[in-house]
Amino acid sequence: MLYARSGREEAEQVPDPREVTVAVGRNVRAERLRKTWTLDDLAARSGISKGMLVQVEQARTNPSIATICRLATALGVSMASLVEAPEAPSAQVVRAGEGVPLWRGRAGGLAKLMAGVGTRHQVELWDVRIVAGDAMVSEAHPAGTRELLLVVEGELTLELDGMPHRVGPGDAIAFVADRPHTYRNAGQPELRFAMAVVVQQEPNGDRPGERHHHGTGERA
């Protein structure tokens, strides 16, 4: 299970946000140059302005989850590879404090990318905490994306297609995530769930919907 260390031990081990920003900039630039793309090429494929791409590559801005996901989709790589989250070649234990924090709620919530696997499908594993009254909002993921959630503590209200789906402790939910959706804690002291995001890839390595710039959402 994904029970994390608590208190000072966890706080000391969470990667510094600046390190994540630098890693994203370095890896986006390296992947873009490997594909021999110009900034204009990447801007057209990702739907992100050239000016923003310059700031990202030079680590002058802290990119949102939406931006990182759009870049990963356009480049045909996993989010984990861009943020340098652990990627296990066969088997690797990822300690609770080693996840990469990519979303922080206003009242203390936290979403960490724990690991990623780059196979025929891109798979991401998340550990998410949302405090009472807070919510994490996501845009539509690339076409064909699936999510699987298992609630560990509290009650999740998943809002999808205008319908709330309540998921309690020990319950799970699977859904197609190529549409806007929201993860909400409607009132429990703390909500915690594990989330797997599975993004399909075409045989040529592109993700479905890449040319349509379907981006994964801002989690805020």
Q: Is the pLDDT at 9 greater than 90, yes or no? A: no
**Mean per-residue pLDDT of the chain:** 77
Model pLDDT, residue 2: 31
Q: Calculate the CA dihedral of residues 45, 48, 50, 54 and round it to 10 degrees.
A: -110
Instruction: Name the least confident of 34-38, 58-62, 197-201.
Output: 197-201
Question: In this structure, is the dihedral angle defined by the CA atoms of residues 28, 198, 114 and 120, taken in order, positive or negative?
Answer: negative
Model pLDDT, residue 62: 84
Mean pLDDT in residue range 156-172: 92
Binning pLDDT at 50, 70 and 90, where does residue 201 land?
A: low
Reported in sequence order, the residue ranges of the chain that DSSP labels E, i.e. its strands, are 100-104, 110-118, 121-131, 135-138, 146-153, 156-160, 163-167, 172-176, 181-184, 190-200
Q: Is the pLDDT at 166 greater than 80, yes or no? A: yes
Q: Is the pLDDT at 114 greater than 90, yes or no? A: no
| pTM, 2 dp | 0.61
Model pLDDT, residue 152: 93
Distances from the Cα of 4 to the Cα of 22, 32, 84, angstroms: 25, 35, 20
Q: Which two tokens stand for residue 179?
A: 């549409």
- CATH code assigned to 1-220: 2.60.120.10
Report how far residue 142's alpha carbon sits from residue 178's, in angstroms, rounded to the nearest whole number.
6
Report how far residue 194's alpha carbon sits from residue 214's, in angstroms, rounded to the nearest whole number.
24
Model pLDDT, residue 209: 43
Model pLDDT, residue 213: 31
